[in-house]
Chain A
C-alpha cells in the first residue's frame, strides 16, 4: 500500500485514524523504504536529538585494563611473550575481581525491607486512612494480587492501626505493601507478593535486614513478609495471627 506524506505526518502527529495507523504499522514490518520515510518525516526526532546529542558534554571517564595484544611487527623472543602473559593475567584478574564483586541481584524480601526501613513516623502520619481510601486501596491491591488480603484480620491486629495498602511491583510481579502504625506511631508493614504457582513453600524465617526485624514465609504461590520498625520490634504476636490467616 502507498501512503502519502500527509498520511504519514498525520500518523506521526497522532491524528491518523485507527485503521490507517494499523495499516502503516503493519506495512512497516516489511517495507524498509516506508520506515525510512516515516523516520525522516518525524518532527520530534530532530528536536529530541538536538537536546541530547551534547550530553554528556565531555567524554566520560573510563578505567580500562591495559591492552593484552602487542604489536605484531617486531614481536620476537621471550620478552614480548612474557609481557603479553603478564598483561593477560592482569586482564583476567581485573575481570575476575569485577565478576566477583558484581552486585548480587536482591530478592523481593530484601528490597521490601530496605524500602520499608526508609519509613518514619512522619511518612505514615499524613496517610489518608479513611474507610473510603482503604476500600479503594484494598480493591486495587486484591485485584492485582488475585487473592483476598483478609482485611478484617489486618484491621484487628493487636496494637496496630491499619494505615494504607499500596501496590508495588517486583520484577513484574505484584507486591502489596500494607502499612501499619503501632501505638507509638512507628511504621510496620506486611507485604505479600504473588510468586506464581510452583514457587516453593518456605517456613517462617526471621532476620534483621537494613536495621529492621523481618519475618518471611511462602506458601501456595505467595510470599509473605512482616516488617518491624526496628531490629528490636517483637513480631511474635502479629506473626502468629498472620501465619494462621495466610496459610494458603
Chain B
C-alpha cells in the first residue's frame, strides 16, 4: 500500500475533532469533497445568488467556497451531507468577507434582481410568471430569501435549514410564513391566469 493513500482515520486536533468513520477506505476525503463540488455546484451557486442577489457575486462565492472546502477536506466528518457543509461555507464567506461590500454597492446603485436568469420557454405567459416569482423571491429580505431558497428550492427540512442557518426552528417557520404572505399576491395572480387560460 502506498503511503500516499490516506485511510479512514480519526484525528484529534486542538480545534476540531475530526472523525472519519463512514467512509469507504478507497475514497479520500479530498475526492469526496471534489465529488460533492461537482454534484452541488449549481445549488451552491444558487444559494450564493439568493444571498447576494447578483450573479457575479454568486460566481465568486461558489469559487471561494470550493477552494475553501478543498482546503478543509480533512475536516469532513461524514460524507452524508457534504451539500449542507458546502452551503455553510458559502454562507460564512458571504457573511464574513463579501456581504458588507456587496450590500453597500447594491444600496448605492439600486441593483435590481437579475430576472433574465430565468430560462425562457415557448410559453410567454409562463415566462412572465416565472420572472415575477423570481423577482418576488429575490426582493424578500435576505433572511427570508436564504430560508426560502434552502427549504422551498433545495428541499432542506425546517430543522436542517435551522441547523445550517444557526437559528431556532421557530425562526425558520416564521421567516417562511412572512415570505408566504409576501409571495401570496403573485400566486393568486397565477391562479387567476390558469383559470382564465383553461377557459373556466
Contacts and interface: CB of A to CB of B under 8 A. Distances in A.
Most chain A beta-carbon neighbours within 10 Å: one of B42, B169, B190 = B42
B119 to A, nearest CB: 5
A8 B130 CA distance: 26
Given A59-B42, A62-B66, A106-B100, A118 B108 contact: yes
Contacts of B63: 62-63
B104 A44 contact: no
A103 interface: yes
Interface string B22-63: 000010101100100100011001100100000100110011
Given A48-B152, A55-B119, A76-B2, 19 more contacts: A14-B184, A25-B173, A39-B158, A48-B183, A49-B152, A51-B133, A52-B149, A54-B119, A55-B118, A56-B45, A60-B62, A62-B37, A62-B62, A64-B37, A70-B4, A84-B4, A95-B67, A98-B67, A103-B97
Interface of B: 1-6, 26, 28, 30-31, 34, 37, 41-42, 45-46, 49, 55, 58-59, 62-64, 66-67, 70-71, 96-98, 100-101, 104, 107-109, 117-119, 130, 133-134, 137, 148-149, 151-153, 155, 157-159, 169-170, 173-174, 177, 180-181, 183-184, 187, 190
Interface of A: 12-14, 21, 25, 28-29, 35-36, 38-39, 42-45, 47-57, 59-65, 67-70, 72, 75-76, 80-81, 84, 91, 94-95, 98, 102-103, 105-106, 111, 114-115, 118, 170-171
